[in-house]
Every structure is written in C-alpha cells, then in structure tokens.
C-alpha cells in the first residue's frame, strides 16, 4: 500500500489518546477567553500548545477566573456518561464539599443546628393543623399520603374524613368493594389511588393485619414509593427517615443552591433531606419542612421576607444580587 499522505499522519503520542473536539478558535484576545485549542481529559498531557504559548502573551485575570469557575464541572468519560455539575456552594455560609460525595454541600455542626432550630421554631408557631398529624396509625397516614399525592390539602381533608369514617381500619378497607372505595377517592382525580389503597389494605390484611415497619417492606405495597414509605416510617413509626415531597425538594434546592441535572438532583436532595434531620426528631423536622415549603417557599411568588432561613438562602442572595444589577444602556 502507498503512503496515506500527510493528512492522515499523526504523532505517536496522539495515537492512543482519546478523541478531542476542536474548540471554536477566536482571535488572540479579541473577544474570546484564553484556553487551549483542544479540549482534553483531566490529567492528559497537552498535545498542542495553548493559545498563550503560541502567542507568547501572559494569561488574563478574567481568563484565570473563568478557568477557576470551570472546576465546578466534573468530566466523566465513557459511553453514556455526561458531565455532572456540582451544586453552587457558598463557603461564606458555612457549606463545603463533602468528602463522601463532592456534589453534596455538607453542613457543619453549627450551621446544621441553626438550620434545624430556625425551621422548628417557625413550625411551632406556623405549622398546619392537619388531622393525620394527630395519629400514629400507619394505615391513616398511608391514606393521607396517597390522597395528598399531587393534590391540594384543602381538597384532601373532606375525602380523608369520609374515607376513614367509612373504613376506619385496614381490615375494613380490605373487606370493602373496590367500587365503593373509588367512589370516594375518584373525585380527587388521579383515579388509580383508590385501587392502590384497596390493594395495599388487602396485602396487609392477608399478612395478619400487621403493617410493615421497614422501608423495604413498605415499598412492597401497591402504590407505595420512596416518599410514601418514608412518610409512614417518619410519622407513624417515628424513625428518622427523610421525606422529600415537592415542597421540601423546592426548599432544599433553593436554600442550598443545588444546580445539577435532574437525575443527579433527586439523589442529592434525598441526601440533603436526611442530613438535616435532628436525631430522634425526624417526624417534626419533616412536617416543618413540608409546611415551610408549602406556605413560604412557594413555587410562585415565594415569601422570602417571612422565611426563617432567609439569611443563609442562596436563592434569595442570588435574587437580591440580580435585582441590584444596573440595566443595560
């Protein structure tokens, strides 16, 4: 075979290196940042000189700052892997990177106690008076959580009272016709929930009427996921299990400045919810976070001025910083 020609010739140190993507070349400093011509994995020796080495001029301070900010990006090379972005941490607020998980903003003991104290003090005054918070019956709590799924509490209250008034125990629910149960629950929408409650009651009744007391057993019931199982463990069995509903997730995401992909964010928020639980008081802090997220840290028009965590909230600090920026000419 003949020579492949100069276009296909590669240096020996390039043959075994991963494929590099050519970055957009810009004028020396006429509108772009100082960076190498080729993106390479961390730890790999550069094949081509950087733009600074080519032109001979020193690095700009702005470029160094840009490179420092890019360290928040974690590259994982391999098939099907994407770059994961760490949360936006604020060291001045006491948050640091966890040694166990670089994405988790670990909280020092003092900051954790302050977070817990402020949330619980707010809850003692502003907590909602809900009927399922006056019982430790796992059946009643399961009913309340299934009915509350993606439904406003004001609509759940009358249905909860009617359902428990007619079927006060798991055995009564198991013996009831499914159509009668659905006639009560279907007006809430999401019509599968009546079938879930009936099937879960049948499963418990067949097992002797003893409600599961572990996360694994609870998640084996029809319609019970991680959130519902955590709620039963926390509110009925008084275990320090995290409870992450939409309101709690929004509050934690805003307060700690979690800015990662959706898949990584779910795992990270569960870890955060577990890390802020005071020992032996999980049921209180979970209820407090749910109420604080629903009443104050709302999805639309959050009441940041009434939040007990406003001084250490990254979301509020960023919002105030944005409001102080001058308008463009």
| 147 assigned to some structural domain | yes
Among candidate residues 179, 202, 235, the one where a domain is terminated: 235
Task: Select from 235, 250, 277 the last residue of a domain.
Answer: 235
Residue 254 lies in a domain: no
Does the annotation mark 145 as catalytic?
A: yes
How high is the pLDDT of residue 324?
59
Which of left, alpha, beta for 309 (phi over 0: left; psi -120 to 50: alpha)?
alpha
The answer to whether residue 181 is domain-embedded is yes
Q: Is residue 132 part of a domain?
A: no
> 259-289: per-residue pLDDT in tens?
766 777 888 899 999 999 999 999 999 999 9
Q: Indicate whether 73 belongs to any domain.
A: no
**Torsion angle of C-alpha atoms 202, 203, 204, 208, degrees rounded to 10:** 90
195 CB-contact burial (10 Å; exposed 0-12 / middle 13-18 / buried 19+): middle
Residue 76 pLDDT greater than 50, yes or no: no
Full residue range of the structural domain in which residue 45 is found: 16-56
Q: Can you give the pTM of this predicted structure?
A: 0.66
In order, the DSSP letters of 161-189 are HHHHHH--SHHHHHHS-HHHHHHHHGGGS
- Where does a domain end: 8, 34, 56? 56
Gap between the Cα atoms of 185 and 179, Å rounded = 10
The Cα–Cα gap between 19 and 169 comes to 63
Residue 318: band (very low, low, confident or very high) from pLDDT cuts 50, 70, 90: confident
Instruction: Report how many domains make up the chain.
Output: 2
- Greatest mean pLDDT among 82-96, 125-139, 246-260 lies in 125-139
145 is a domain residue: yes
**CATH at 203:** 1.10.340.30
Name the catalytic one among 53, 145, 216, 322: 145
In a domain, 212, yes or no: yes
Question: In which element (H, E) is residue 109 found?
Answer: helix 109-126
Q: Do the Cβ atoms of 255 and 312 come closer than 8 Å?
A: yes
| Residues 33, 35, 36: CA angle, nearest 5 degrees | 150
Answer yes or no: is 150 within a domain: yes
């Amino acid at each position: 075979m003949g020579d492949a020609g100069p276009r296909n010739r590669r240096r020996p140190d390039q043959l075994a290196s991963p494929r590099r993507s050519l970055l957009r070349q810009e004028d020396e400093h006429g509108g772009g940042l100082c960076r190498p011509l080729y993106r390479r994995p961390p730890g790999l020796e550069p094949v081509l000189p950087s733009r600074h080495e080519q032109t001979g001029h020193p690095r700009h301070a702005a470029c160094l700052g840009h490179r420092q900010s890019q360290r928040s990006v974690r590259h994982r090379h391999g098939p099907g892997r994407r770059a994961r972005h760490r949360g936006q941490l604020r060291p001045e607020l006491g948050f640091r990177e966890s040694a166990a998980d670089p994405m988790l903003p670990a909280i020092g003991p003092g900051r954790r106690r302050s977070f817990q104290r402020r949330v619980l003090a707010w809850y003692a005054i502003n907590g909602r008076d809900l009927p399922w918070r006056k019982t430790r019956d796992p059946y009643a709590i399961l009913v309340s959580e299934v009915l509350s799924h993606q439904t406003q509490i004001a609509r759940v209250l009358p249905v909860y009272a009617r359902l428990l008034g007619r079927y006060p125990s798991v055995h009564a629910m198991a013996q009831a016709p499914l159509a009668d149960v659905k006639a009560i629950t279907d007006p809430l929408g999401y019509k599968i929930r009546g079938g879930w409650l009936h099937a879960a009651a049948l499963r418990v009744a067949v097992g002797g009427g003893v409600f599961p007391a572990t996360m694994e057993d609870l998640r084996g019931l029809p319609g019970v996921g991680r959130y519902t199982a955590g709620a039963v463990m926390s509110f009925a069995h008084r275990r320090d299990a995290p409870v992450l509903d939409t309101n709690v997730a929004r509050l934690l995401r805003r307060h700690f400045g979690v800015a990662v992909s959706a898949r990584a964010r779910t795992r990270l928020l569960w870890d955060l919810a577990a890390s802020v639980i005071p020992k032996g008081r999980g049921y209180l802090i979970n209820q407090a976070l749910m109420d604080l997220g629903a009443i104050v840290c709302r999805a639309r028009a959050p009441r940041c001025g009434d939040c007990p965590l406003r001084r250490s909230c990254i979301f509020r600090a960023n919002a105030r910083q944005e409001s102080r920026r001058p308008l463009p000419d």
